Amino acid sequence: MADERKLDHDSSLVRAARDGDRVAFGQLYDRYAPTVHGILLARVPVDEVDDLVHDVFLRALPRLHTLRDPEGFGAWLSAIARNCANDYHRHNRNELMQEIRDDVPEETASKRERFDADVTTILSAIRSLPEAYRETLLLRLVEGMTGPEIAARTGLTAGSVRVNLYRGMQQLRQKLAEPRTSDTISKEIAAEGWPDGNPGGATK
């Protein structure tokens, strides 16, 4: 019921934003930026994510009038975020590989004080999972969203989110239990590509 009310309110914001109300679009930004952030974090280098969040909304704004169903805003915006990540990789494949190598603890220690070895290891492990699991797990663990919230924000069905969370967590536990470091994970990714064959795994 709470989700339905939220959707109703989101629809009003989308309609207002479509009519040129920038405050309404700003409110949509505040509501959906964490979702976009989580989706991008599953696919692009950490340092690029914040800038790309902004790019996604700038890309969405002039196309808002093409969205027929305001209730589909979350799913629509999520698709734009995934495409934005795809575009990033079309132009930056080499940089991505370098970024992944840079993610190993030894090299990040001096450059990225924000991340400790645990973050890097877990993020690398999540990024090596199938695409659907990556995104859902990051929205749950990083952005702190519940399963129902993820479903409401991304337009995925609750069933899909539940499946992604449970299977993704199972696989993540297995990966983290394996006796290997983030260095070996990064090398595997660099050598074999992402599990679905795409750098960053963002192509749908």
Say whether residue 102 binds another protein (CB under 8 A): no
What are the distances in angstroms from CA 119 to CA 66, 127, 154? 39, 12, 24
Residue 37 and residue 51: Cα distance in Å, rounded? 10
Residue from 13, 14, 41, 85 touching another protein (CB under 8 A): that is 41
Residue 110 and residue 155: Cα distance in Å, rounded? 40
Residues 6+ apart with CB under 8 A from 37: 49, 50, 53, 142, 143
Residue from 10, 48, 55, 143 touching another protein (CB under 8 A): that is 143
Interacting stretch for another protein, rule CB under 8 A, among 93-101, 104-112, 169-177, 179-187? 169-177
Tell which positions 45-74 bind another protein, by CB under 8 A.
46, 50, 53-54, 57-58, 61-62, 64-69, 72
Instruction: Report the nearest approach of another protein to the CB of residue 4 (Å).
Output: 14
Closest to another protein by CB, 179 vs 197, is: 197
